[in-house]
Amino acid sequence: MNTTDEIQHVLDVSRFAVMATQQKGQPHASLMAFIPMSGIRYLIIATYRTTLKYSNLSKDGRVAVLINNYIATGPSKYRDLVITAHGIATEVTDDDRDRVKQAYLARHPEFHDFLASSDCALLRVVVSTYEVVGGTEDVQWHPVGDDV
């Protein structure tokens, strides 16, 4: 099994992640609902523009998004993994907003009212690298190229 397939599996079975932002060196972690898009290349999150995380991302788009499949899966051909996506978050453009919103709602229909708010921002994380952890002695770095 290749690493890209394992990462995709974690993204497919997990609905929530912990996203870390920072401001002036102070980390801030937030539990987020997310969706993957375009394979493992993009993660989509939603937040209100009045939050600390949005303020942090407006100043510095660098994020780390930690996702695990320990709870999400039962017996499977896939290993239990914790992955951390490293990348840059930017707000989804108006041209893409409806398409991205529909994809988000397909996975998280319970957030319909939240996404309908004029204060809700959809953010796209362009992932550059995944840290893939299968255990204490099993850590790999998986760069995401433009061809993914």
* pLDDT surpasses 60 at 17: yes
Please check whether residue 135 lies inside any domain of the structure.
yes
Interacting residues of 117 by C-beta distance below 8 A, sequence separation 6+: 48
CATH number of residue 37's parent domain:
2.30.110.10
* pLDDT surpasses 70 at 102: yes
pLDDT at 80 (0 to 100):
79
Distance CA 145, CA 103 (A): 23
Please check whether residue 81 lies inside any domain of the structure.
yes
Q: What's the predicted TM-score (pTM) here?
A: 0.91
Please check whether residue 12 lies inside any domain of the structure.
yes
Could you give the number of structural domains in the chain? 1
Please check whether residue 98 lies inside any domain of the structure.
yes
Please check whether residue 148 lies inside any domain of the structure.
no
Distance CA 22, CA 86 (A): 13
Amino acid at 48: Y
What domain range is 99 assigned to? 3-143
Each residue's pLDDT tens digit, 27-76: 999 999 999 999 999 999 999 999 999 999 999 999 999 998 766 555 56
